[in-house]
A and B are shown apart, each in its own frame.
Chain A
C-alpha cells in the first residue's frame, strides 16, 4: 500500500481482526500491525459466549454489554461465515451450570438467583432433568441450571476466519512489532493489543494469567456431551467446552501473574475438577496445557473509545475474560466511531476516560463515613 491507510490496527487478535474486517468492508484502507497474529489470549481462550454465566455481582453495565454482544453473535457469525467461506465452531447447544457438592451448589445457587433477578435466561433443573440433558455428568453432581443462550465458538478457528475475511475485504499486513504509537502512520490508529496496550497507552491494563487444558476424545469422535458445562467442583471453578472435532477445553485458572508457565498444581486441580464432573474425561488424551494472559482492567470491563489527549487514537482492549463474546459489539461500535466520529451511547460506560482523569477510582463507601474506633 503506497497511500497512507485510513485505519491502522495494532494487534491481530479477534478484536483487532474483526475491526479490520468491518472497517475494510466499509471501504476504508486498513493496515494490520502484528508480528504474530492470533498468538495472544485468544490462542488459549475457550471461546464461551456466556453473557449469563459471566454475570457477576456489581457488574451490571458489563453484563448488559455482554448480553448486547451475545445478541449480535448470530448475525456476526453468519456474515463472517459468508465472508471467509469457512466455519469456526460456532455452536448454540447452550450451557449447563452445575455444583458437585452441597457446598458447591449453595455457592452456585447464590449466583443463579442473582442472574435470575436480572431477568437473564437461566432455569434451575432437578437432578434428573440435568442428567437427562447430559448423561455424561457424574451421578454425584448435586444440581444445576441451564443457560440456553450461552453458546460457544472456537477462538483459533475464529481468528483464522477473521484473517481471511479481513484480507478479502482489502486489509493489508504490517508484520513489524509496534514499539510506540508514533511509529504508526494512519488517519486513525486502533490499539487492540490486549495486554500490550498498557505500554502503548498508559491505561491500567494488567495481565491475568489463565491456565487451560485441551483434551481429545479417544478415536477422535465427538465428546459424549454437547453442552458447555461449567460449575464448581469441591470449590474449584471449572468449565468444559466440547468441540465437534473431539476436543474438550478445560479451564481455567485466574492468577494475578504475568508469566505463561504451566504448573503441575493447576493441571492437577483442573483435571480433578473436570473428571469429578464428567468421569469419562479420564479416558481422553491430554493434548495440550497452555497459559495465556487476559488483559484485565480495574473494573473487569473493556476499554473502548477515543484515547483522551491523543487525537486519532482509538482503544479497543481490556476485554479480560470476555474478548470472544465481546468481539462483535466491539468491532461494530469501533467501526461506527471511526466512520461517523461519534461514539455510540452503548460505549459510554466503557470509554478510556474513566481511567485517564484521576488514574484511580474515587473511594466510595456504601454508607456514610463516621469516626468509629
Chain B
C-alpha cells in the first residue's frame, strides 16, 4: 500500500510545497496535520548559508520530513541543471523536483527544455521527479530517459482550478510504469480526491494549503482526501448509469 519512489517508501501519498506560507508556526502545524513525509522547497527561496537558523529548514527538520529540492523559477534546461546541482550540494540529496517554466502567465512547463534537463540529470545520478504538462506522450518520454516519477499538472500552478483534463491523467497513468504524482492546480479536497481516483499515486500541492484561510484545517482535509481517493480507486467504483437502479431489490419482499 505504500508509495515507492526511487527505492524509498512513503506511508503518506501527500507531498507538500511550502510556497505561499505567511506564517511559519502555522506552516509547521499544517505540515504535521497533513501527515506528509516529503516536502518540496525551492533552493532560491531558502537561505542555505551555514548558521542560518530559525527558518524553514529548521522547521522541516523538526517535522522529520524528507526534503525534495525543486528548481522553481528556472526557464531553461541549463539553468535547471545548474540549480539542481546547487541543491544537491546544499541539501545533501540527489532528489530533485525538476521544474522548467515555459510561460510566465500560465506557469506551464516547457516540455522540450524539461526533457533535456531530465536526461542530463538522470545521467548525473539524480533521482528526477519532473513537473510536466498533462501530455501522455511527453510523460512517456520522461519515463524513457529514466525519471523516477512523472508529475503532470492538473491545472496551472496556484490556479486552484483542479484537474482540468482527467482523461489525460488517466492516459498518463496507463502510459508509464512509474509513480504518477498530480502536481499543481489543486484548489480543495475534492480535487485531490479526484486525482487519486484517476489512479495517481500521490498528489503534490502547496497553495491550496498555505494560502487557505485556515491552512491547518485544509492540510487535514487534504490528508483525508488523498487517503479517501486512493481507497476509492482501489475499491473499484460502480458503473455510471443513465437511469436509476434500486439498491434494494423487489424480490423476496414479504407479501402483506
Q: Residues on A close to B: CB < 8 A?
A: 56-59, 110, 114, 198, 204-207, 235, 255-259, 296, 298-300, 360-361, 363-367, 372-373
Contacts and interface: CB of A to CB of B under 8 A. Distances in A.
A227 to B, nearest CB: 24
A198 B54 contact: yes
Nearest to A235: B158
B22 A256 contact: no
Given A114-B213, A206-B54, A363 B32 contact: yes
Contact of B25 (A110, A256, A299, A367): A299
B24 to A, nearest CB: 5
Contacts of A256: 45-47, 55-56
A58 B26 contact: yes
Which size class do B's interface residues fall under? 20 to 34
Given A58-B214, A361-B29, A365-B29, A198 B62 contact: no
A257 B49 CA distance: 9
A364 B35 CA distance: 12
Interface string B194-222: 00000000000000000011111100100
Interface in B8-62: 11-12, 22-26, 28-29, 32-33, 35, 45-47, 49, 52-56, 62
17 contacts: A56-B22, A110-B213, A206-B54, A207-B47, A256-B45, A256-B46, A259-B49, A298-B23, A298-B28, A299-B24, A360-B62, A364-B33, A365-B33, A365-B216, A366-B33, A372-B224, A373-B12
Given A255-B45, A256-B46, A300-B23, A361 B54 contact: no
Interface string B171-182: 000000000000
A188 to B, nearest CB: 26
A237 to B, nearest CB: 11
Contacts of B1: 373
B54 A364 contact: no
A284 to B, nearest CB: 25
B227 interface: yes
B23 A299 contact: yes
Contacts of B22: 56-57, 300
Nearest to B159: A103
B97 interface: no
Contacts of B26: 58, 299
A298 B25 contact: yes
Given A206-B54, A365-B220, A257 B62 contact: no
Given A206-B55, A300-B22, A373-B1, A367 B47 contact: no
Interface string B218-234: 00100110010000000
Interface of B: 1, 11-12, 22-26, 28-29, 32-33, 35, 45-47, 49, 52-56, 62, 158, 212-217, 220, 223-224, 227
Contact of B217 (A198, A259, A367): A367
Contacts of B49: 258-259
Given A373-B12, A373-B227, 10 more contacts: A114-B213, A204-B54, A256-B47, A298-B25, A300-B25, A361-B25, A363-B28, A365-B216, A366-B217, A372-B227
A60 to B, nearest CB: 12
Nearest to A195: B54
B214 A258 contact: no
A194 to B, nearest CB: 14
B45 A366 contact: no
Those 10 A-B pairs whose CB atoms lie nearest each other, nearest first: A366-B217, A206-B54, A363-B32, A299-B25, A365-B33, A298-B25, A204-B54, A57-B213, A257-B47, A372-B227
Contacts of B62: 360
Contact of A367 (B29, B46, B220, B227): B220
Contact of B213 (A58, A198, A258): A58
B53 A366 contact: no
A59 B23 contact: yes
Given A256-B47, A365-B216, A372-B224, A298 B33 contact: no
Contact of B216 (A110, A205, A259, A366): A366
A200 to B, nearest CB: 14
A58 B23 contact: yes
Contact of A258 (B23, B32, B47): B47
B13 to A, nearest CB: 8
B226 to A, nearest CB: 9
Contacts of A299: 23-26
Contacts of A58: 23, 26, 213-215
A264 B44 CA distance: 14
Nearest to A107: B211
A298 B46 CA distance: 15
A186 to B, nearest CB: 27
A317 B53 CA distance: 17
A300 B22 CA distance: 8
Nearest to A364: B29
Question: A205, A235, A257, A296: which has the most chain B beta carbons within 10 Å?
Answer: A257
Contacts of B224: 372
A298 B214 contact: no
A373 B234 CA distance: 13
